[in-house]
Structure 1
Amino acid sequence: MTTDPIALLGIPLDANSSFMFGCAAGPAAIRAALHSTSGNEATERSVEVIPLLRDVGDVGITNVTGSEADADVITAAVRDQLVAHRQIISLGGDHSVTYPILRAMRERYDDLTVVHVDAHPDMYDDLDGNRLSHASPFARALEESCMTSLVQLGIRTANRHQVEQSERWGVTMITPRELDEFDAAKLTGPMYLSIDLDGLDPSCAPGVSHHEPGGLTVREVLDVIDALPGPLVGADVVELNPSRDVVDMTAMVAAKLVKEIAGAMVERR
């Protein structure tokens, strides 16, 4: 097992959100939870991962709705870490950050498998005229062939348009009722994990803008992380809205996920 650092990159963007803003404060809240003395530095497999995280700070963005310039800055920041041969965990911010991240990943990996935990498919062609909306990142990424396969877990809001989008690109969409059908052993190639915190049930993660009951438990998401065969080359944890959180519960869940993702990255290099 090597001990090369894993880049931790904050992306305080929420201008592409719908319904409400607040996710720009997510990276700072996750960092505070990561370094809280209420826990320690070890994963459930006793890998001490906090010293292996190289916090490279926040991307310098304008946080303007539909900004191509902000998307380009995010892509460049991720590219810099990949050029340095680092695995990367990004902290959102709203889910629009995933599209520019995956553009950078495409430059390095031509056979990327993406596993996406979410209540929503995020494959709208656009939302309210914004093609860079947090409801559209996977539509953009699929259009640009940023991945060879996309598996979505926890989806429970797919309307007809998004079902048609899924069929168009051959996306595997698994609802919470069907989670036992997810077979990670069938996944191949380098992997990227995108976790929208509203994929969890609001009872586990109230600090999100879009409460969607009937979601996954923290343990089910941890089991997904454990099951990924790897190598896990990148990940993001997005949509934490601290203004909606309760006693920092969702921030602590996000920090837990970051630690376990980092552990999986280290163990499956």
Structure 2
Amino acid sequence: MTVTLFGFPWDASSSYARGAALAPPVIRAMLFSEASSPWSISGANAREIVTAYDFADLPEDGAAARASIEARIASALKSGRKPLSLGGDHSVTYPILKAMKEKHGPLNILHVDAHTDLYEAFEGDRYSHACPFARAIEDGCVGNLVQVGLRSVTPHCRTFGERHGVVMLGAEETGAIPYDRLGGPLYVSIDLDGLDPAFAPGVSHPEPGGLSTREVLQILAKLPVSPVGADIVELNPERDINMMTAGVAARFVKELAALMSD
């Protein structure tokens, strides 16, 4: 099955620093850079798998932007394509999951992040980038949610996660990932601040002590089924160093595209 690569240039739901809205075209440029091969580690050509691109602008209003994201994902699913989305901040994941649920029912989700994103509201905003998985759980979009890379978990989010059966694992606990809970339909959401800043410095909310690029790739390689969709979010190009984080994001695009084509 072929993949549509989406770019959602949205960061108005960010709580600290803007900049993530600049990320989609930067990652796309890295994919097509002469300095970067299109091949995945397994030998798949991402440029052959990703055969459609949707990088349209979003409305300035938050509700209208979420509706646009949901409708565009739904259209790709209706045409039999798998969506691989580039944020933008992590708030874009909620409308994506709403559209995915209509097609596939509740999803099993692998979520790589330093943060749980399980706030019921953050700074008065129920649709903040700190809230997408709380909204997704409330809307019945989630079967199993497995989070890995966590190292900034508030008591509020821990309580919410425990109440809803979320598996919450630190960066040192990759060996405890319950892959048996990541069967189909599987969705993968990678917040780049799940990685240690040594590997992904270009994020707005860096947290030392995170995953390495290799560890994330190993996790992806162990997934038991082909994902029906995925996203990569929270690259802030204004904070990147020598395009290092953009290159990591491009690598994840290649590996996820290869997995999604199976």
The TM-score bracket by the shorter chain reads over 0.9
Please state whether the residue corresponding to 2:38 is helix, strand or coil.
Answer: coil
Contact 1:42–1:49, Cα closer than 8 Å, also in 2: yes
TM-score by length of 2: 0.97
How far does the alpha carbon of each residue in 1:203-256 deviate from its partner, in whole angstroms, 9 at most, with x for none?
Answer: 000000001000000001001111111131000000000000001000000000
Measure, in 2, the Cα distance between the counterparts of 1:126 and 1:59: 28
Measure, in 1, the Cα distance between the counterparts of 2:153 and 2:52: 35
How far does the alpha carbon of each residue in 1:6-56 deviate from its partner, in whole angstroms, 9 at most, with x for none?
Answer: 100000000000111000001011001111111212111111121221242
Amino acid at match of 1:20: A
Please state whether the residue corresponding to 2:172 is helix, strand or coil.
Answer: helix
* Corresponding residue of 1:79: 74
* Corresponding residue of 1:173: 168
Measure, in 1, the Cα distance between the counterparts of 2:60 and 2:244: 26
Contact 1:42–1:48, Cα closer than 8 Å, also in 2: yes
* Corresponding residue of 2:31: 34
The reply on whether 1:128 has 2:119 as its aligned counterpart is no
Contact 2:49–2:258, Cα closer than 8 Å, also in 1: no
Query: Displacement, 1:185?
Result: 4.0
Contact 1:114–1:149, Cα closer than 8 Å, also in 2: yes
Please state whether the residue corresponding to 1:154 is helix, strand or coil.
Answer: strand
The reply on whether 1:159 has 2:185 as its aligned counterpart is no
Measure, in 2, the Cα distance between the counterparts of 1:179 and 1:43: 22
How far does the alpha carbon of each residue in 1:103-156 deviate from its partner, in whole angstroms, 9 at most, with x for none?
Answer: 000101124201100000001111111111000000000000102110001011
Identity %: 46
Amino acid at match of 2:185: P
Closer/same/farther in 2, CA of residues 130 and 186 from structure 1, 3 Å limit: closer
Amino acid at match of 1:214: G
Measure, in 2, the Cα distance between the counterparts of 1:63 and 1:122: 23
* Corresponding residue of 2:96: 101
Contact 1:123–1:137, Cα closer than 8 Å, also in 2: yes
Q: Where do 5+ consecutive residues of structure 2 fail to align?
A: none
Amino acid at match of 2:74: R
* Corresponding residue of 1:62: 59
Contact 1:111–1:189, Cα closer than 8 Å, also in 2: no
* Corresponding residue of 1:225: 220
Q: Where do 5+ consecutive residues of structure 1 fail to align?
A: none
Contact 1:59–1:73, Cα closer than 8 Å, also in 2: no
Which of residues 2, 5, 29 in structure 2 aligns to 1:5?
2
* Corresponding residue of 2:182: 187
* Corresponding residue of 2:19: 22
Measure, in 1, the Cα distance between the counterparts of 2:175 and 2:69: 35
Query: Displacement, 1:186?
Result: 4.4
Query: Displacement, 1:59?
Result: 3.8
Measure, in 2, the Cα distance between the counterparts of 1:103 and 1:214: 32
Q: What is the alpha-carbon root mean square deviation over aligned residues?
A: 1.1
* Corresponding residue of 1:265: 260
The count of aligned residue pairs is 262
Displaced runs of 4 or more, over 4 A = none
Amino acid at match of 2:55: D
* Corresponding residue of 2:249: 254
Amino acid at match of 1:261: L
